[in-house]
Every structure is written in C-alpha cells, then in structure tokens.
Chain A
Amino acid sequence: MKKDIILAGVGGQGILSIAACIGLAAVDNGLFLKQAEVHGMSQRGGAVQSNLRLSDKEIASDLIPYGQADLIISVEPLESLRYLPWLRRDGWLITSSNAFVNIPNYPDKEALKAEIKKIKNHIFIDAEAIAKELGSVRSANMVMLGAAAPFLEMPFDEIEKAIAKLFGNKGEAVVELNQKAMKAGYEFSNRAVAGE
C-alpha cells in the first residue's frame, strides 16, 4: 500500500490539521510516513502545500515526484490546480469550492470551477456551508478530510479515532463536532462517486 497526498491551501488555513489526522491514523496502522511542510515566509498568506507520503514500505524521498500523487486535497479551489503536475493520471483532486481571495488578480470563479470540472476524477465540495450547517465553519477542514476519506484506503473508524486523539484536549464537544464534519464530507464524496 502506498498513498502520496498533496495538501494545498493558503498560509493560515490550517491544512496541517488534515495532515495530522491522516498521519496519526496511518502511524497507528503501522504505516511508514513522511510529511514535508512549509514553514516561514510563505505562511504569511501565500500558497502553501504539504507532501504527505504513506506506505507499508520505508519511504525514501520527503517530496513526491511528478505524476505520483494519488490525491490532491485542497482547502481552496485556485490552490488545488497549482499542483497538477504531481497528480497521477488516475489520481483524485478533492477541493473545497470556497475561494480565499487575498490577491487582486484572483481568477474568475466560474472559470476556475470549469477547470476543476475538467479533471477526470474530482470532488468539488462547499466545505464551509456543510461545516456551518453542523455548527461551526471552523470545522471545514474536517469536512475536507472526510471528503478525502473514501480514497485513503483506511478504515473510517481509524480516522474518527485520530480526530479524537488530535482534538482530545479541546473537549468532547469539539471532538464530536469535528467527527460529524468529517462524516458529512465522507458521505458527500461517496454520493458524488456513486453519481448521485
């Protein structure tokens, strides 16, 4: 088993909490993991990504080679397209539809949507709306985690457990909210794949 995942977003959007959940679940399942992050200047509102690699064999490179990523998980639509050279031909692009506009030349949102729809395997999800409906827009990242969950080849309850572990010190209510958000994303993707 190997899963190479690129997480994408804008500095400050918290893509690392998604990486941390997948990472925890993977390590608890005895998988090897390497995860390259971006710290420093780019974190200030710039494009950021994290290369997350999971495998049942030891992993060599911290960086994913071109054309090898099984998944791109992006919390922002423009950022989702930035890493296409790394996506496998049959890989999945899973992105939030929630644009983060902090540059004057942000592209037309409809044109952006059209580009994303051109990708053979994609999930385009309004994570913020789903999270808001469940109680807090701040759990949108967990909706994105859930949307990616069907493609992770990992037991669903392992991911739930990872959320409990990661948010445990913030109290029961926060854990529950995040687990619910994750489940909502999971169901959304399953419906989308089934063509509903």
Chain B
Amino acid sequence: MQKMLLLGVEAIGQAAIDAGISAVFAYPGTPSTEITEYVQASREARDNKVVASWTANEKTAMEATLGVSYVGKRAMACMKHVGLNVAADAFVNAGVTGANGGLLVVSADDPSMHSSQNEQDSRFFGKFAMIPTLEPSNQQEAYDMVFYGLELSEKLHTPVLLRITTRLAHSRAGVVRKPSREHNEIRLPDDPKQFILLPAIARKRYKGLLANQAHFINESETSGYNRYIDGSDHSLGIIASGIAYNYLLENFADRELPYPVLKINQYPVSRTLLAKLEKECETILVLEEGAPVIEEMLKGYLSKNLNVKGRLDGTVPRDGELNPNVVARAMGLEDTYGQDVPGLVVGRPPSMCMGCGHIDTYNALNSAMEKYSKGRVFSDIGCYTLGALAPFNAINSCVDMGASITMAKGAADVGFSPSIAVIGDSTFTHSGMTGLLDVVNCNSNVTIIINDNSTTGMTGGQKSAATGKIEDICRGIGIPEERIRVITPLKKNHDENVQVLLEELQRDEPSVIISRRECIQTLNKRMRQRAAAKAKEAEQQKASQQ
C-alpha cells in the first residue's frame, strides 16, 4: 500500500477516512486540531460523504459522536486533553451506554504544557470511564490503532479512547496505509434500551461494563500492542509506554537493549505481563509520557518490597515531557550535552501578531482602568490570553474555557465592582453563554468584553461557531439592547473606545461590549486566496483569448 509522510494527527485523520468513519466531530485544541482539518481538506472524505465538523465545544462533539454510534455508523470525536474535561459527562456515561457503531475518542495530551493550562494525562480518564485506551508509540501505530480501536469498539460494544501526546501529534514520519473499509449502514442497537441510562437500566449496563473488563484485559494481552521483549541482563526490567519506548531505544546503538522491556500501548494492562517482569527482574524502571499511571498501579500504597523506579521516586522528573536525555539520565547513561547557550540569548515568548485587534482592545481597556485599582480583569483562553504578558499586563486570570464571565460574576456578587470579563468569540459560544445566563439571572454587575475576531484564532483560524450571532445570543439571553455595545478596536478609535468602556464600567448592571475586528491572520489568508484566485482568472482569460 501507499506510504505517506504524515504528522501523527494527520495519520489519525487519514486512518479515520480509510477505516470507514462516517463522522468526525471536534472543537479545535492544540495538539489535536489538525486531525479534523485533515479530514475536512481530504477529497476522499468529501467523495465518501464523511461529515467533519467543528462543534460548539467538546461535549457537543462527544454527544454527536455518540449519536452516530447509536445509529450504527462509525464516528470519532477529537479534542485536546482539557477538552476531555468538558466532554467528561458524555464520555464517562458513554462507557456505560457502550457503543453500537465503532466509537473512537481521540484525546491529545500536552505534557510540558507547550500550549495548555495543565498536563493532565488522559489515561486516567480512560481508566475512570473503564474503557479500553490505546497509546501509540509512533505515527504508524497511530494509524493502525484507529482501525483496531474501531474494530475493538464494535466487537466489545464499547467506546475506545486513543491517547496521543504533543510529540507524536506534531511529528512527521512515513505511514503505510491499509485497504479502505466501507461505511456502516444505519442499524439501531439490538437492545432498544441500551442508550437509556435510567437508574434501573444503568445498573444493568454498569454490571455489563464491569463484566466487560475481563475482555478488555484479554484484548490488551492478545492484540500484540503490549509486548514483552526479553533481554540478557535481568538486574533491570523496563516498562515503556507510548512514545517513551522510542526515547529508550534511542539511547542504545542499533537498538540492542540488554534489559527485558515491557512495551505498553494498550490499557487496561494485563497483570500477567506485569507479574512476569516483576518476577524476572530485580528492579523495574517505569518510563511514561505523562503521569505515573502504571507506576502508581504497581506501587500502590502498601507493597513495600517492590523495587519500582520512575516519576514517583524522582528517578524520572515528576513533571514535563520525556526526551532521550531524560531517559538517559534515569538510566545513569552518559550525558551528551553539547555547548552551553551563551548568556546573551534571551527568551522569545509568543506575542500577539502585529496589527492584531486584541492589542487595541487592551490598550483601550488599560486606559479605562487607570482610575480603578488593579486586579479586576478575569480573562479566558485564546490569543488574547497573551494580554497577561508585558507590555499589556492587562488580565488577571485564565483558568478554563468560559471561566472569565463566571469568575467575574462570583467576584461581583460579593461586592467586587467593577468586575470585568474578557473572552473571545469562539470561547464565548464554547462555554461562556451559560455563564452569561447566570449573570443575567442574578443581575450581577459584570462588564463583559467579547473579543470578536470572527475565528478560532489560537489554533490557526478555524470557523467560529459565534460568527454573526453574538448580539442575538446576548439579546436572547437577556442583556438589554442598550447594554450591548459594539466597538472597533483600531488605534484611531482609541479615545472613543475608552469612553464606551468607561460608560459601561460605571453602570451597576450587566453589560456586554463586543470588540470586533477580523483576526489579522485570517484576513491576510483571505486576501492571499483572493489575489491567487484573481491571478488564476486573469491567466485563464489570457489563455482563452490566445
């Protein structure tokens, strides 16, 4: 079959198309975004009528995916690790309903927090929902596991979690494709009550889920993704999960390891393999990308005699992603560190683009806030979070999608006034609208600035669910017409914008200021596409005249 050079995320997108998935639902989030973008851009997917859409948030993506599974077709929901928190209600209950058509959930973790608020490990969620979890170690496995995960899902009637991490997501390698599979036909579940989680039915379903655990373990024993590779020196046995295995191999020339290795790519992990390693080796070193999930499982709290090393005893740092050097240090191998970075090399943090509307919004807000004490601006997740950095130092919080409005509300409700929320358009429809309803219902004295750049900017300009709808949403939720102000964040409008902000800050009721100007990146992209289209047209015209 054809070999393609693909990022890990692209491999998953291609595999979804090849494995006969009928729908992909997602909310953008680094490092997961390109899975859905890949399917959206694929001609094959279009020809096969694969639905690939952005949803308002990860929860609606997860639920739509479950709906596809209910009617018997295959579906995939994609999100970043913190997105799985948003989808958790649907995700965990989907473990109880089980699947009908193949159901795959991709959660992309971000250890070292390259683009995230935390480095939570999605394997915990797989364990929490008690469903099979797959963790590929390379791009080919990522591709193959989409096929396998869907087969497993349909065979054991369960959702399957595919957990990847940043390095795999955004690294390119050769991937060999498999023959394509047809989509499923619509076929409702054999048990018409499978998806009705009334207590009486849910109790039965839950017992079924518990009984299914033995099958899940059996699968992880027999699928071939968890492998025991023997070595001659049994003084040490190594457990390497996911891409940690690559970093381990990297440290040995020609990949010849003297120690037995247990390569783990599938959960729940079978006791048999773990017991074998424990019996045959004096010490066990656990290498995991993310939290010490396997290590904690081995150590427990009371098993004192087991000699297990890893993130919990400091052999491997407790936080941050792995790399070949971290693994080398954990094994006491030679440090290959090159030259020091000269002292004059300073950091270059990310910053807002030149010409970005958020810059003008923050300049206006900072001017308006001069008369008030500091620490009053609750913000949210997006490019505008960079307003926390110099020279703006304009915001005081960033916690989770939507928390700006609700944190400002809580503060306002106990007498903190003025209390300001700054949220982006896509974040507003993701998780800000319900908070706005709370604000309206309690008449909380909050001034909400919605930075509307008409796109999901930070993740590269995906379509925003909010575009063209923000005023209607605010009116519908109950903000009076005269308390919805729209400003254009441009340098020339500075004084005028400061005036609008001051007026709304002085009021004792909720108000919304929509600061609207298209993202400079999407604008430039649109202009380039337009110029290219025009050039092509002119060329064609010229050709037809000749």
Contact = CB atoms under 8 A, between A and B. Distances in A.
Interface in B233-262: 243, 246-247, 249-251, 255
Given A44-B353, A66-B337, A102-B348, A60 B115 contact: no
Nearest first, the 9 A-B pairs at minimum CB distance are: A40-B30, A40-B115, A46-B350, A67-B336, A61-B250, A65-B324, A60-B249, A62-B171, A36-B171
B190 to A, nearest CB: 42
B174 A41 contact: no
Contacts of A35: 171-173
A163 to B, nearest CB: 17
Nearest to B167: A62
A103 interface: yes
Given A33-B173, A66-B335, A105 B351 contact: no
B517 interface: no
Interface string A96-111: 0000001111111001
Contacts, number: 157
B459 interface: yes
Contacts of A106: 346
A81 B348 contact: no
A107 B34 CA distance: 36
Interface in A17-61: 23, 27, 32-47, 51, 59-61
Given A59-B173, A60-B247, A103-B346, 6 more contacts: A34-B171, A40-B459, A41-B115, A44-B350, A45-B353, A62-B167
Contacts of A45: 348, 350-353
A41 to B, nearest CB: 4
Interface in B448-503: 458-460
A63 B339 CA distance: 18
B247 A108 contact: no
B383 interface: yes
Considering residues A39, A46, A87, which has the most beta carbons from chain B within 10 angstroms of its beta carbon?
Answer: A39
Contacts of A111: 344
Contacts of A112: 344
Contacts of A103: 346-349, 351
Interface size class of B (residues with CB under 8 A): 35 or more
Contacts of A67: 336-338
Given A36-B170, A61-B249, A62-B168, A46 B351 contact: yes
A81 B341 contact: yes
Nearest to B247: A61
A10 interface: yes
Nearest to A85: B338
Contacts of A87: 338-339
Query: In terms of DSSP, what is the predominant structure of the interface of chain B?
Result: loop
A160 interface: no
A170 B173 CA distance: 25
Contacts of B353: 12, 44-45
10 contacts: A23-B5, A34-B171, A41-B458, A61-B323, A66-B335, A66-B337, A78-B345, A78-B348, A84-B341, A89-B338
Nearest to B9: A39
A175 B349 CA distance: 34
A88 B338 CA distance: 6
B386 interface: yes
A84 B340 contact: yes
A81 B34 CA distance: 30
A32 B386 CA distance: 38
A48 B328 CA distance: 25
A86 interface: yes
A66 B336 contact: yes
Interface string B326-370: 001000000111111110111111111100000000000000000
B36 to A, nearest CB: 14
Interface in B309-337: 323-325, 328, 335-337
Given A66-B336, A66-B338, A82-B341, A60 B250 contact: yes
Considering residues B168, B328, B339, B460, which has the most beta carbons from chain A within 10 angstroms of its beta carbon?
Answer: B339
B10 to A, nearest CB: 11
A66 B352 CA distance: 31
B349 A84 contact: no
Contacts of A66: 324-325, 335-338
A150 interface: no
Contact of B336 (A37, A65, A78, A79): A65
Interface of B: 5, 7, 30-31, 33-34, 114-115, 167-168, 170-174, 243, 246-247, 249-251, 255, 323-325, 328, 335-342, 344-353, 383, 386, 390-391, 458-460
Nearest to A43: B350
Given A32-B174, A65-B323, A65-B325, A42 B5 contact: no
A136 interface: no
Contacts of A41: 30, 114-115, 350, 458
Given A32-B174, A62-B171, A85 B339 contact: yes
A82 B386 CA distance: 23
Nearest to A79: B348
A115 B343 CA distance: 10
Given A61-B246, A65-B336, A81-B345, A38 B114 contact: yes
B332 to A, nearest CB: 15
B69 to A, nearest CB: 29
Given A37-B172, A61-B246, A61-B250, A44 B386 contact: yes
B342 A81 contact: yes
A39 B116 CA distance: 12
B167 A85 contact: no
Contact of B31 (A27, A40, A86, A115): A40
Contacts of A104: 390-391
Given A23-B172, A34-B173, A103-B346, A63 B341 contact: no
Contacts of A23: 5, 172
Contacts of B344: 107-108, 111-112, 115
Considering residues B247, B337, B348, which has the most beta carbons from chain A within 10 angstroms of its beta carbon?
Answer: B348
Given A42-B350, A44-B386, A85 B324 contact: no
